[in-house]
Amino acid sequence: MRARPIRRNIYLPVVRFGVADSDWFTVLLISCAGYLAPVPFGITVLYVPLQMWTWLLATAGSIAFFNYIRIGRKPCWLQHKLKALFFHHRQHRAIPNGRKRAFTRSWILNNEAAHGWLRSDPQSARSSSTLILLDHNSRIQEAIEERWNESLLMTN
C-alpha cells in the first residue's frame, strides 16, 4: 500500500480569527445580544442605528476576549481561574505548574516516628504540636457528630 499524507494535528480545534470553532456559538450569542439590546430605544448615531454600532463592538469585543483567553494560555485556563476566584482552594486541587507554592507537609514524620520515637531536630517539636492540634480537631469533630446524631434521634 502507498503511504497517505496524514494531518498531524487532527485533534486540535479549527481556529478562525483566533477563535476556536467551539467558541463561535458564544460569539454569535454575544453579537445577537449586542444587536438586539438597543432596538427598543430607536437611537441613531451618525445616521446609523445604534444596534449596528453595538453589534460591531460586541462582536469585536467577544473575538478579542476569546483570543486573550486562548493565545499563550494553557487549555481550560479560564475555568481554572474562575474556580480559584469563587471557590476555596481546599475544594479544588491546584494546577500542577501553577504560581502558588506547593503545600508542604512538614507534619508527616519519617519511619522512626511511626515506631514511637520523635526526632531531636526543631521540626519534630513543630510536628508534635501539629499532631496535638490534629488530635484535638478530630475530638471536636467527633463531639459535633455525636451532638448532631443525638438531635436527629430526638426529632424523629
For residue 126, is pLDDT > 90? no
> 22-65 pLDDT, tens per residue?
889 999 999 999 999 988 888 888 888 888 999 999 999 999 99
Q: Are 63 and 27 in contact (CB under 8 A)?
A: yes
pLDDT of amino acid 64 = 92
What is the enclosing helix (H) or strand (E) of 79?
A: helix 77-86
**What pLDDT score does 121 carry?**
53
> CA of 130: how far to CAs of 48, 120, 135, 139, in Å?
69, 16, 9, 14
In eight-state DSSP terms, residue 10 is T
pLDDT at 31: 94
Residue 7 C-beta-side C-alpha neighbours within 13 Å: 6
pTM above 0.85, yes or no: no
pLDDT over threshold 50, residue 117: no
Domain ranges of the chain: 15-86, 111-155
Q: Which residue has the higher pLDDT, 2 or 64?
A: 64
Burial per residue of 94-108, b for 16 or more beta-carbon CB atoms within 10 angstroms, e otherwise = eeeeeeeeeeeeeee
Half-sphere exposure of 56 (CA within 13 A, CB side): 5
Q: What is the mean pLDDT of residues 91-114?
A: 56
pLDDT number for residue 62: 94
- Higher pLDDT residue, 120 or 152? 152
In angstroms, rounded to a whole number, what is the distance separating the alpha carbons of residues 107 and 130? 6
**pLDDT value of position 69:** 84
pLDDT given for residue 97 in this prediction: 63
